[in-house]
């Protein structure tokens, strides 16, 4: 049996993405290294191995944590002689050099690689309002527009070669990670000085210090003490690290990137398995260390 689409990686983002694809009657086969039978959408077919996906899906989305996971999943595509897959759409955040490396790896077997990292978090994935930062041929974008629109509210085309989508995604996440860290330190200082967290957020959010952390993450995830943005500190640390590496690979020197990179690496090490919003608790501790 052949499916128009496959999806490898059914984690926090992959599950709602798969649900939105199947809700739009897009035939889908899914695979995850950690058996996804209990979380895959009812209408999706679950594959037992990645090779089963390559043998049955014409276009395959990757939604995996890191570039190395993508490369290891794609290794079996290189070895699959009876593949029907002709296009791979990269939803994962893996950085520009890795996207270029994977593009070069797939070219000799005539598989198209389309860069399409996403922003919007789990809430955006559930609401099908993700922002997609695409780089690859415009023809491929048009060919897959219906599937991309089933998961996204904003589709941008940033270049004809895979990689620029990744660069754009890391620019965004570097800004988001910096905003969350700065807001955490500022709020931790205010609370230490006896001020009320909610009142401070109310002030900032009608003043010039407002950002996505103060308007969204803090009121919904920190003030509530739920710390449930569903974006792992490890993933944000990876993204800031990739941004920093990208600067260095381009022979550029960022002033903030080394500091923000070190801070998020430290957070990941100090709080394994944590949600990114838990950096607020770390910044409170760090004020007194």
Binding residues for ligand NAD, rule: CB under 6 A, are 8-14, 32-34, 63-65, 69, 72-73, 92-93, 118-119, 121-122, 230-231, 235
* Cβ at position 113, least distance to ligand NAD in Å: 16
CB of 49 to ligand NAD, least distance (A): 10
Identify which of residues 166 and 211 has a Cβ nearer to ligand NAD in the complex.
Answer: 166
Please report how close the Cβ of residue 287 comes to ligand NAD at its closest, in angstroms.
27
Nearest alpha carbon to residue 246 among 236, 235, 257:
257
Judged by CB, which is closer to ligand NAD: 6, or 27? Answer: 6
Closest approach of Cβ 98 to ligand NAD, in Å? 11
Q: Residue 17 CB, nearest distance to ligand NAD (Å)?
A: 9
Phi and psi for 110 in degrees, rounded to 5?
60, 35
Give min distance, CB of 139 to ligand NAD, in A. Answer: 25
Least separation in angstroms between CB 208 and ligand NAD: 27
Q: CB-wise, 137 or 230, nearer to ligand NAD?
A: 230
Judged by DSSP in three states, 12 sits in coil
Q: Of 28 and 204, which has the nearer Cβ to ligand NAD? A: 28
Alpha-carbon distance of 174 to 168, in angstroms, equals 10
Nearer of residues 176 and 283 to ligand NAD, judged by Cβ: 176
Q: Are 11 and 65 in contact (CB under 8 A)?
A: yes
Q: How many residues does the chain have?
A: 289
Q: Of 14 and 188, which CB lies nearer to ligand NAD in the complex structure?
A: 14
Q: What is the Cα–Cα distance from 111 to 59, expressed in whole angstroms?
A: 10
Write down the least CB distance from residue 165 to ligand NAD, Å. 12
What CA–CA distance (Å, rounded) separates 116 from 73? 17
The residue number whose beta carbon is nearest to ligand NAD equals: 11
- DSSP letters, 139-182, are HHHHHTHHHHHHHEEEEEEEESSTTHHHHHHHHHHHHHHHHHHH
267 within 8 A of 178, measured Cβ to Cβ: no
Contact 16, 30 (CB under 8 A): no
Alpha carbons 197 and 119: distance in angstroms, whole number = 27
Beta bridge partners of residue 113, listed in sequence order: 88
Q: Which residues pair with 152 in a beta bridge?
A: 130
d(CA 22, CA 47): 15
The smaller minimum CB distance to ligand NAD, of residues 12 and 205, is found at 12
DSSP 276: G
Q: Which is nearer to ligand NAD, 215 or 230 (CB)?
A: 230
Q: What is the DSSP string of 171-198?
A: HHHHHHHHHHHHHHHHHHHHHHTT--HH
């Amino acid at each position: 049996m052949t499916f128009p689409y496959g999806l490898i990686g059914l984690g926090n983002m992959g599950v709602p993405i798969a649900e939105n694809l199947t809700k739009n009657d897009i035939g889908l086969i899914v695979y995850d290294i950690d058996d996804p039978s209990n979380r895959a959408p009812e209408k999706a077919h679950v594959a037992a191995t990645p090779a089963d996906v390559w043998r049955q899906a014409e276009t395959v989305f990757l939604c995996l944590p890191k570039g190395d996971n993508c490369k290891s999943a794609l290794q079996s595509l290189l070895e699959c002689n009876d593949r029907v897959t002709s296009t791979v759409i990269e939803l994962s955040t893996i950085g520009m050099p890795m996207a270029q490396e994977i593009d070069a790896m797939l070219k000799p077997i005539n598989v198209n690689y389309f860069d399409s990292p996403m922003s919007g978090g789990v809430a955006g994935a559930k609401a099908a309002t993700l922002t997609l930062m695409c780089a690859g041929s415009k023809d491929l974008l048009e060919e897959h527009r219906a599937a991309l629109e089933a998961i996204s509210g904003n589709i941008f085309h940033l270049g004809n070669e895979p990689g620029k989508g990744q660069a754009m995604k890391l620019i965004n996440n570097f800004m988001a990670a910096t905003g969350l860290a700065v807001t955490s330190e500022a709020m931790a200082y205010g609370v230490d000085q006896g001020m009320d967290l909610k009142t401070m957020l109310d002030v900032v959010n009608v003043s010039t210090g407002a950002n996505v952390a103060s308007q969204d993450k803090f009121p919904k995830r920190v003030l509530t003490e739920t710390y449930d943005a569903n974006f792992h500190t490890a993933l944000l640390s990876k993204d800031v690290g990739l941004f920093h590496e990208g600067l260095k690979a381009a022979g550029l020197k960022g002033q903030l990137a080394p500091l923000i990179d070190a801070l998020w690496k430290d957070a990941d090490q100090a709080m394994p398995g944590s949600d990114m919003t838990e950096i607020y608790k770390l910044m409170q501790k760090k004020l007194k260390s």
